[in-house]
Amino acid sequence: MTECFQTSGQTILEHGQSVWRHMESLLASQQEEIQGNWKLPEWYLKYRSKILENLPPIETLRNYAIFHDCGKPFCKTEDSSGKVHFPDHAEVSYRTWLSLYPEDKLVADLIRNDMKLHVIKGTEIECWCATTHKQIICSLLLSALAEIHSNAKMFGGVESESFKIKWKHLDRRGKAICKILFES
């Protein structure tokens, strides 16, 4: 993780540490006191306390955030134009974590589902919420919000089109998920 790069100038470990620092900001700060350049969705502000009530222990969140891409060095590929890809990295990371910590299945499950909120379709949300533990869903909501902010600089900041696209997708999914979890 220290020798494989997530982006130019940032190793996979540094990326995980950055996600953790952003997650810590969300955990430690009151809504109006969050440090840094944040764009917080309405669903987070409305359901923040309920999300935080349903999280696993802090050490679980820390391990998940820092090591969520631990399998990327094992699935790294480069295409003919030199662009780096990490195919099926969430599954490879899940298997990598379990090979090292077979007793820590919650971190493994979080790692396996790390990309869920970034790719889930609106039509899949209800079924996913019905079949996934609330602790995992709330952890993934917090992590996805931390990660897009951690990566914002790479996208060109929170005002960039790339960030806005990712934020809009997460906003829609988070709103739908929170409605199911906390209003049903």
The reported pLDDT for the residue numbered 34 is 67
Burial class of residue 152 (count of CB atoms within 10 Å of its CB; 0-12, 13-18, 19+): buried
pLDDT band at 155 (very low <50, low <70, confident <90, very high): confident
The reported pLDDT for the residue numbered 32 is 55
Yes or no: say if 104 and 97 are a contact pair by the CB < 8 Å rule: yes
Give the chain's domain count: 1
pLDDT in tens, 72-82: 999 899 999 98
The reported pLDDT for the residue numbered 157 is 83
> How far is CA 37 from each of CA 40, 87, 90, 94, 157, rounded to the nearest angstrom?
10, 31, 27, 31, 9
Instruction: Give yes or no for residue 36 having a pLDDT over 80.
Output: no
The reported pLDDT for the residue numbered 8 is 76
Q: Say what the pTM is.
A: 0.91
Distance CA 159, CA 110 (A): 29
Range of the domain at 32: 5-183
> Which tokens sit at 19?
């996600």
